[in-house]
Structure 1
Amino acid sequence: MTNHDEAAAVRPLTLAWVSRHLEAGERIVKTEALHGGITAEIRRLTIGAPDGSTRDLVLRTFVNVEHAEDGLTREADALTLLTGTGVPAPGLVAVDPTAAHCEYPSLLRTHLAGRTVLDDEGLETRVPLLARQLVAIHALQPAVRPRGYVTLTTADTVVTPKGADAAAWAAAIDVIRKPAPPFEGRFLHRDFQPGNVLFDVGPSRPADARITGVVDWAATSWGPADLDVAHCSTNLALLHGPSWGLRFSEAYEEAGGVLAAAANERL
């Protein structure tokens, strides 16, 4: 086995665990660190077969991450549920959420083609694609629902940044201090944003982009569609400007998605 770089090296116990989940005669012939993960170390493993053919798997390792067991268990359940639904998600190969076999909690999944695209060019094409993909995710009706969503912050834990508009922040804090409005539950990704969506897009034809995969299902939940839409809108606004955040919610509804009917509930 050869390593693409030192960061790509798989720890001994994890290496043995991965090897136990390969087909007869297969072995790891190359490892490569993938960049972009915030909560996990991500590696692409090239698997060689006796006939000389290869395939790729992806290893996610949670090092010093709080609630790793919960996240990996939730992701494994989601990937199992998504099989055959038409949502382009990875396939689950194996999971060790408590590090019973590996040095750290780990998940092994199939590799999806494509790459994340965060450029401004081609955004007018990608935003409707993102919206349609999210509508398809929200349309899923699993026999067993994932657990209910949890809030990511509270009114008492918000810290207003230095130099920020104090009045605007105070108004926002007042909004999240109120009880959540009633909602129709949906299957939520809970971290749906451009960094977790893979595209096939040619360098000279950004208008021909297509989605090849949606990854990082560790926060899958059941709750209001507005949560996923607001999260993706925020990321688009931070990446490309506020108008694109607003455009995403419009594209979501144009694609058939349903948000809260009242403006004050959408807050």
Structure 2
Amino acid sequence: MNTHRWVERNLPPGDRIRSTEALRGGWTSRMWRLDIEGRGSPYSLVLRSFVKPFYVRHALGLLTREADVLRLLADTDVPAARLHGVDASAEHCDHPSLLMSLLPGSIRLDENDVDRKITLLARQLVAVHRLHVAESARPRTYQAWTDPDRVRIPEDTTRPVLWRRAVEVIRRDPPAYRPCFLHRDFHPGNVLFTGHGADLAITGVVDWVETSWGPADLDVAHCSTAIALLHGVPAGMRVAEQYLAAGGALSEDPSDHLYWRLLDALAFAPDAEKVAVPWREVGRTDLTPAVLACRLEDYLEALLDSIRCCSTSSS
């Protein structure tokens, strides 16, 4: 009830909440669509609330960062929501919350138009990375989501040597990089689409709580891992190619690029089940733990094979 009152205090005079609808597909937070009516035409907003204890503890930093990023993106061509209010410390709401505009479109995690989606995702990511951000407005430096000593190797894997090889690749200092503005959690579950086939288009990029300053390789790596898990390893391996084709720049040293790719992929170990839960909620019931565990291992192998091929061709 406190949250309801806070939302209506952030609406224009005379507007009120007509109805609410839970939105699916999120893992870190609870999302609601709020339909608003009042003096003008009806419209809708989205309410993000952190309810899980871990995210409640970190809500002040996460939601404050997202609010700052949405303000920053308001004057750019990146299709992001408009900020309507934020209560990151739950001073007025029942839970830490952020109120924003509802973007058109929907997430598309099915197997339709995969090649077209990869092309559009790559182009959108290039546009995000090209944003000029004043030094005073830059987000925090990126944080790695795993390290060699935290990787959880599957207990029942039949390929332990593969895992050890992958872990050894990230057992080094991070490579030098040219920093840029990162979404940091860019994947199909955080992108909205409309249309089909040649008319497919991106209409929104959401979930800016992890926005960071760091290497473009890391954003590309995260999107690549997600695509490999959703649509198979060959699709995941095409993301970097499409990113370069769209004008993006990645590490020129293949070993540096491999570091970023594996740093991201190994953070999904042992079986990527965490991301699979919201994906199954929106229809991808085929993504069982066994399927994802196999795809993750196959992806690691493809990445390691790619550096071997590079070494062979250059010798």
* TM-score, normalised relative to structure 1: 0.92
Q: Which runs of 5+ in 1 are unaligned?
A: 1-11
Q: Residue 127 in 1 paired to residue 115 in 2? A: no
Structure with greater helix percent: 2
| 1:183 corresponds to | 177
Distance 2:96 2:88 in 1: 5
Q: Per-residue displacement from partner, 1:165-188 (whole Å, max 9, x unpaired)? A: 111111111122210000000100
Q: Which amino acid aligns with 2:4?
A: L
| 2:306 corresponds to | none
Q: Residue 152 in 1 paired to residue 145 in 2? A: yes
Q: SS at 2:121's partner residue? A: helix
Q: Which runs of 5+ in 2 are unaligned?
A: 259-315
Q: CA deviation at 1:162?
A: 2.2
Distance 2:171 2:25 in 1: 33
Distance 2:156 2:241 in 1: 31
Using the TM superposition, name which of 119-128 and 35-44 deviates more.
Answer: 119-128
| 1:211 corresponds to | 202
Stretches of 4+ moved more than 4 A in 1? none
Using the TM superposition, name which of 66-75 and 152-161 deviates more.
Answer: 66-75
- 1:24 pairs, out of 9, 13, 22, with 13
Q: Residue 87 in 1 paired to residue 75 in 2? A: no
Distance 2:171 2:96 in 1: 35
Q: SS at 2:162's partner residue? A: helix
Distance 1:15 1:215 in 2: 23
Label 1:207 to 1:162 Cα distance change in 2 as closer, same or farther (>3 A). Answer: farther
Structure with greater strand percent: 1
Q: Which amino acid aligns with 1:142?
A: V
Distance 1:195 1:28 in 2: 27
Q: SS at 2:237's partner residue? A: helix
Q: Which amino acid aligns with 1:216?
A: D
| 1:4 corresponds to | none
Q: Per-residue displacement from partner, 1:135-180 (whole Å, max 9, x unpaired)? A: 0000011112111001001111111002321111111111222100
| 1:69 corresponds to | 60
Aligned residue pairs, count? 252
Q: CA deviation at 1:50?
A: 2.5
| 1:50 corresponds to | 39
Q: SS at 1:177's partner residue? A: coil
Q: SS at 1:207's partner residue? A: helix
Q: Which amino acid aligns with 2:17?
A: I
Q: Residue 161 in 1 paired to residue 154 in 2? A: yes
